[in-house]
Amino acid sequence: MSRRIPVVILLCVLALAVGCTNKKVSNPLANVGSKQPDKVLFDRAMDAMKHNRFDVARLTLETMINTYPDSEYIARAKLAVADSWYAEGGSTSLSQAEIQYKDFITFFPNMPEAAEAQLKIANIHYQQMEKPDRDYTHARRAEDEYRQLIMQFPDSKLLPEAKQRLLEVQEVLAEREFRVGRFYYLRESYPAAIARLRSVVDRYPLYSQADEALYLLGQAYEGEIAMVRSRKGNEVAKARMIQEFTNGAAESYSRIVTRYPLMNRMEDAKARLEAGSTEQSRRRQPPRNRDVRKSHEKFPEASRRGPGNQGWRSHVSRSPDGKCHGSSAEGGQCHEGNFDSCGQQCSFHRDCWQRRTASKSGRPTFRYRKSREASR
């Protein structure tokens, strides 16, 4: 029994030692059968890193770099220093790892390991990425670093992994922008909603809810059209703005139909396009011509010429004090009142004549109106 106790203790120690090893760390030069001192130091550092003794590993690697600056393993040693910080984990260690990886890319840009260093820089920010409703700093940095890898190392074997990670990062960023745009849309802040939703559909076309973003964008444009029509202002400017927003809504719905035909909002987009085309055709119809003869039939005395019926200016005069004095066609006296900017407004005690429009024959047409005092 006493002989079995040391054996059990030894097995426990071995199991603990195996459990403490870092399986993610591997010696890239393990197959090199060299007994040179720089290679021995490198193997010793990798063994320490494998057993999570990162401080010892970095100290050994620094000794090798300073002692053998012309070693053929110098590039691998610098990369191993960055890997030790990366394997240690934690925000501080990851920041140091990013610095070391960038230094490696600066000094050895043409080595195959440079793409690996760039991928690990992107992975550092990918691991610290938050949810869509949280801080998006690391997500933005990860997107930039993955794009840098794709552009700088287009022939690398790590490209498929980088592209897949880039899609995941862009999904988080697009979801964040979409939520903000929907927030503004629900509160009828349409300009802000349009800005956010347009950035989503333009920057992230592979977003999983791109059809929903485009549909909300079209709805935001339609909301802007309704608000412009309800406001008072220059009709020409309003028509130009309405046309611009109409084109934006039509473009948003058309992109759903052409680019995302199998997604949920395709039928809704088709319906909105048909409704928009119907409304535009209705608005383009010319207005009906008014029948001017009806005014002559209703007020025959207004179309007759006479000494007291020669137009507005024939029986209204303006005094130096800005008052109007005159008489109506039936002899009623005009009470004192101010002219407007055109000098064509005046109210009478009794019935008065007011210029309206010109008939087809060129003769002035008048409308018979009761004044306020005469109606009392």
Average pLDDT, the chain: 77
260-310 pLDDT per residue, tens: 999 999 999 999 999 877 776 666 655 555 444 444 454 444 444 444 444
72-96 pLDDT per residue, tens: 889 999 999 999 999 998 899 999 9
Enter the tokens of residue 221: 């444009």
Neighbours of 169 (CB within 10 A): 25
Strand, helix or coil at 265?
A: coil
Position 24 confidence tier, pLDDT thresholds 50, 70, 90: low
Enter the tokens of residue 1: 């029994």
Which position has the token pair 């008489």?
Answer: 327
The single-letter code of the amino acid at 250 is A
Domains of the chain: residue spans and CATH: 17-174 (1.25.40.10), 176-277 (1.25.40.10), 296-375 (no CATH)
- Output 3-11 pairs: Cβ under 8 A, ≥24 positions apart: none
Enter the tokens of residue 323: 């008052």
The β-bridge partners of 368 are: 353
Q: What is the pLDDT of residue 331?
A: 43
Q: What is the pLDDT of residue 21?
A: 56
Helix-, strand-, coil-residue percentages of the chain, each rounded to 5: 60, 5, 35
Q: What is the pLDDT of residue 62?
A: 93
At CA 264, angle to CA 258 and CA 268, rounded to 5? 70
